[in-house]
Amino acid sequence: MPVLIAPVFNSTTAQPVRIDLPNSYTLISGAKRPYEIASRFLRNEMDENKRTFDLRVDPSSLFLVGDHEDMKVTDDRVWIEEIESKLNLASTTGTCSIPYIITVNGNMYGITYLKRSLDGDKYTFDDETAGIFTSLVEQKLPSLAFRRYALSLEKKNYEDQLLDLWIALESLFVPDGKKGEITYKLRVRMAYYFGETALQRERIAQFVKKSYNHRSEIVHSGKLFGDKLATEVTILRAMTRAAILNIAWESVNLQDMRVRLDELVFTGESYVARYDPTFFERIML
């Protein structure tokens, strides 16, 4: 039976990992054979020496492994890209990617290129990250927000990252938004969603107003901010990630979410105090 191996670039683990996944796949680390196959075949394809290759993939890296009926990769591509996105959603630090798929059958092998590898700090798959990832594997996530969160990791400049993240946040917090009221609804709803106290809500509202103005300047006038957006994008990414996880784990649909957020404005309560979710990822400004 042919085997499919997809190295997770830029990932590392402190101890061996084995997580059984749907579609007869397993996420592993600490096994010699996947690394040896990747190093043997993929390193030649990438035209890199062992030292350079090992900076991307080494024996401690994660590998997606599964038996495959043939040497062609078709429907699995979309699912593998989703696994990559869920791995990145599971961590608050580091970025990993799955740019290549290797299929091996005896002395025959094939390499499928999915996309360029993502840049970022080393992705560490620890116990906390593993726990979050495992809970996400078969979890239905808000589709537009999840897709835009993943796309933001592929963008080189901060302006494009900011735009992707705001598209994600708009889809979560103002799916009912109309021109002229979107900024106000974002400020109020996000303030009551993330803020516990009046001071926290004010800080969040001011941040949302400032950042959304930056979004408008980028879209309408093409303004470039460069590295000035670094901290802002980091906060937006944390907010987007937290909202996606919270909504998924609470299994609340976006229509009900909108109603809940508007009720908070009248009661003056925070989201956590009012609805008491079992788990809630907090954002502090």
State residue 74's pLDDT score.
64
State residue 70's pLDDT score.
63
The whole-model pTM stands at 0.93
Report yes or no: 30 and 17 within 8 Å, Cβ to Cβ.
yes
Mark 216-231 as b/e (b = at least 16 C-beta within 10 Å). eebeeeeeebeeebee
Q: Residue 226 gets which letter from DSSP? A: G
Count the neighbouring beta carbons within 10 Å of the beta carbon of residue 232: 18
State residue 129's pLDDT score.
97
Q: How do the pLDDT tens digits run along the chain, 285 residues long?
A: 678 899 999 999 999 999 999 888 999 999 999 999 999 889 888 888 888 999 999 999 999 998 766 656 666 888 999 999 999 999 988 999 999 999 888 788 889 899 989 988 999 999 999 999 999 999 999 999 999 999 999 999 999 999 999 999 999 999 876 666 888 999 999 999 999 999 999 999 999 999 999 999 999 988 888 899 999 999 999 999 999 999 999 999 998 998 999 899 889 899 999 999 988 998 888
Which pair of tokens denotes residue 191?
């303030």
Three-state DSSP class for residue 136: helix
Q: How far apart are CA 43 and CA 109, in angstroms?
A: 13
Q: How far apart are CA 172 and CA 158, in angstroms?
A: 21
